[in-house]
Structure 1
Amino acid sequence: MAALVGGWSVGTVRAGDPVSTAEAVAAGLLLTAAVVAGVRMLWRRVRALAAAALEAACLPGPDRLVVIDNPAPDAYALPGIPGRIVVSTGMLDALDDADRQAMLAHERAHLACHHYAFVALTQLATTCNPLLRPAAAAVAYTIERWADERAATACGNRRQVARAIGKAALATAHTPSRKGMPGAVLGLLGRRRSPLATAGPVPRRVAALLAEPRAYSPPLNLPLLPLAAAAAVIGSSALCTFAAAHDLHLLLKLAGAS
């Protein structure tokens, strides 16, 4: 079909194309499925972000922090313009003043670092390529650790942030998630109602905060084996892409001259 549209020699294209018809059909079906799934996921994420932004705009008061009268402990960040931090009276009652500061610093980090964008892009990539699920789980956990460390820096007390996370987890252990909450919501205990919700278990985060912070090491001091493996994968992928593009260019040049 592409040969007919481009005015190339169909016989030359078929002779120079090593891919069989069955392989081409299978690849086309997989590509179509990936594109359809990706478009559907993109639409859902756009709707979730729009719903979060609308809810943030409709919350009362001009301040970024909104306290709702609800005995159920809850705290989360809503992305929007501007983003809002929603905390229930039940959560405030479960934490002391220092814990509240740590919790608010964590939620501010989610908004300041635009973590919802990382989650959205990761979900889109995972939908298009299910093999990326381990990477998506790692991203979901990493953004929570990122917010933890930002909160620890803001509070100046890593143990306080760990304590706040633990107390919030205990307070919400028997509290069901609120229905109708936008999918773009991020909270102190991780994202809700998501296949990746178990990617950032609280015990691991608390243990990381209670451990001594790791000093920064220059890239040259990193282990050579992981760096070499990553470089090999990236290099081979780039080489294969260049070779495929070069072969396609030669094939179409030959077909156009025939």
Structure 2
Amino acid sequence: MHVAVYLPLVLPLLAAVSTRWLSARLDPRVATWLFTTAAVGLATASGVALTALAATAVGQIPWLAAIGDWSVRVLRRDDPASLTVSLIACVLLAAALTAGGRALVRRLRALADAARTAHRLPVDPVTRVVVLDDPVPDAYALPGFPGRIVVSTGMLDQLDERQQRVLIEHERAHLRCGHHIFVTAAYLAAVTNPLLLPLAAAVRYCTERWADERAAHATGDRRLVARTIGTAALLTHRHSAPPAAALAIATGLTTGVMGRLRRTGPVPRRVAALLTAPPPTRRLLLALALGVLALATVSSLEAARDVHILFELAQAGTRRTA
């Protein structure tokens, strides 16, 4: 367990530093699936590793050892981790479970509120779009059963007919592809393990890129989509954010020099990506990323197996003593 238990705690760092590089080179749909799976998988693996480390400390509590019928002496003798490390793991595990539980409740409430709001909003039976009589430019996809595309008159008045179609196609892609599910899963994983925050941000970015590509495919004009994103971002960046569970075309605006688009925030990076050809399928990169996730999974399972063997030895030690 010496190496196996620590690998799942270190590998999130590798994922965190590589997400931006990978997101620029992978198809956004593939990248969204990859990053979401990696976030959930690495969060689970690190949780298993912390549990394995914490179990050896918890197992040394005398009354708990008596209930489980294992030897505290054997645990102390054969435990590969120091008591200090095990106690730190206990604290980190408790913090992760508490933060994850609270975040799950908040997110479920936000999704429920979004679904109730979407259900109440009057919708055009043909376009399935809700137009709000509001001079403030705004547009977002609100998840629900079914979801709603919400656009203000202030936004529609600033866009021409072709840009309006881009906007609707982008938000429709969010609903049809279930992007809020990916964003929620990655967000919850990052809450339990803050090292995964870059992965959660990458998932949100890639869902926007995925929607951008769907809009570009529907309209057949990548430059038009790029212009629409830039226009929507400039119109909305001074106004309040959309509801918590919503996804918006102008998410993540960061000002910067257009000549350094690829080094700035999410919106300029999306515009830059649309001004080039769609990213090709890179099977080698995908295989390497999945290999890292597999390594974390195998390491956590090996750590859990070693802890199980350790407690079996401790129980055998109790029987020999008896």
> TM-score by structure 1 length?
0.85
- TM-aligned CA distance change 1:35 to 1:215, over 3 Å: closer
- TM-superposed deviation, 1:191: 6.3
Q: Work out whether 1:124 is the aligned partner of 2:188.
A: yes
- The count of corresponding residues between Structure 1 and Structure 2 is 243
Name the counterpart of 2:230: 166
Q: Work out whether 1:9 is the aligned partner of 2:71.
A: yes
Structure 2 residue identity aligned to 1:212: A
Q: Deviations over 1:25-60 (max 9, x none)?
A: 211111101110111111111111011111101112
Aligned pair partner of 1:185 in 230, 243, 246: 246
Does the CA contact (< 8 Å) of 1:99 and 1:161 recur in 2? yes
Aligned partners of 1:235 and 1:89: how far apart in 2? 49
Unaligned runs of at least 5 residues, structure 1: 193-198
Aligned partners of 1:79 and 1:105: how far apart in 2? 15
Unaligned runs of at least 5 residues, structure 2: 1-60, 254-263
Q: Deviations over 1:109-131 (max 9, x none)?
A: 00011111111111111111111
Name the counterpart of 1:214: 279
Comparing 128-137 and 58-67, the one that deviates more? 58-67
Name the counterpart of 1:251: 310
Structure 2 residue identity aligned to 1:37: A
Greater RCO (Cα-Cα under 8 Å, separation 6 or more): 2
Which residues in structure 2 correspond to 1:1-258 (within 5 Å)?
1=61, 2-61=64-123, 63=125, 64-174=128-238, 176-177=239-240, 181-190=242-251, 201-217=266-282, 219=283, 222=284, 228=288, 231=291, 233-234=292-293, 236-257=295-316, 258=319
- TM-superposed deviation, 1:93: 0.6
Name the counterpart of 2:28: none
- TM-superposed deviation, 1:151: 0.8
Structure 1 residue identity aligned to 2:81: V
Aligned partners of 1:169 and 1:243: how far apart in 2? 48
- TM-aligned CA distance change 1:228 to 1:102, over 3 Å: closer
Comparing 242-251 and 68-77, the one that deviates more? 242-251
Comparing 111-120 and 244-253, the one that deviates more? 244-253
> TM-score by structure 2 length?
0.69
Aligned partners of 1:108 and 1:229: how far apart in 2? 30
Structure 2 residue identity aligned to 1:56: A
Name the counterpart of 1:196: none
Structure 2 residue identity aligned to 1:94: Q
Secondary structure of the 1:66 match is: strand
Comparing 24-33 and 162-171, the one that deviates more? 162-171
Secondary structure of the 1:54 match is: helix
- TM-aligned CA distance change 1:190 to 1:239, over 3 Å: same
- TM-superposed deviation, 1:160: 1.6
Aligned partners of 2:67 and 2:74: how far apart in 1? 14
Aligned partners of 2:161 and 2:141: how far apart in 1? 19
Does the CA contact (< 8 Å) of 2:119 and 2:144 recur in 1? yes
